[in-house]
Structure 1
């Protein structure tokens, strides 16, 4: 170790900022290069340089005059780089969990909006059907009743139920929204 560096360490221990600045200019590039070698990221490496020199200033009273400063900074840089990697790993795991939760909420919200929109379109179309066709079709396709159950409920024959459903389906198919009705039925059956 040269006398100049030993004197700078003494001045640093005393709390002189000028010594700190000189040591920073002497070693910051080496600290950056080492951390970049370990992290492969410029931003993280700059963070490590800052952390290392902040710790150097905070722990200056524990330094020894004849200490090899580069060895001290080297060990601190490696520790800070490894700590950075650990925190990034934890952050990525947290980010992945958060992203999954946000995606699920977003998917559910999207499904709800699409279902509502489809339902509104179907209601508009169903209003155009004659009352009895609308009732039979709604009971069958939207509420899932069987032909026999609808016939009993409305006091009509199962054949009449079938005819109403066929007529309503033809109308809806011609309106090109039968596809949307089919999608809605699939959506609500999931």
Structure 2
């Protein structure tokens, strides 16, 4: 059965017509679900978001006007809600990761924590070994051995400003590598290098 035209749908929704709302749900929910699931490939999360989108449509039906496309409203709302959920999940994962790093620092290291820590240190060591030679030397002298820029400059026979630039560039390269390799390594890098 074909849906009524957009103006008729809006009029029916404004009037609280539940059968028309059900028709809209039946017609659009498969496509909306596919779009959500492409961005957020978790069955339950996608189903929950789909229901939330249609609840929002029902709750905001009186605000719809004739110049709005119901289909456009559904697809736009579902996109923004999905992106919001993804950002929320990413923030939660990052917060969990930060808490885990703090727990590792505050508690006695268990065998499991030691393995995780050593894995991240190995990744960091691999990244450091990929640095250009002079940047690697400057980084190791300043960040690993705790030498000042002045002391490192004397060892490398360059100016302090050059050492500062080498270290800054090395940190930038390591951060990029860490973000690509393992987000938790990025947190370790921030924790070790502060």
Q: If the length of structure 1 is used for normalisation, what is the TM-score?
A: 0.49
Q: If the length of structure 2 is used for normalisation, what is the TM-score?
A: 0.48
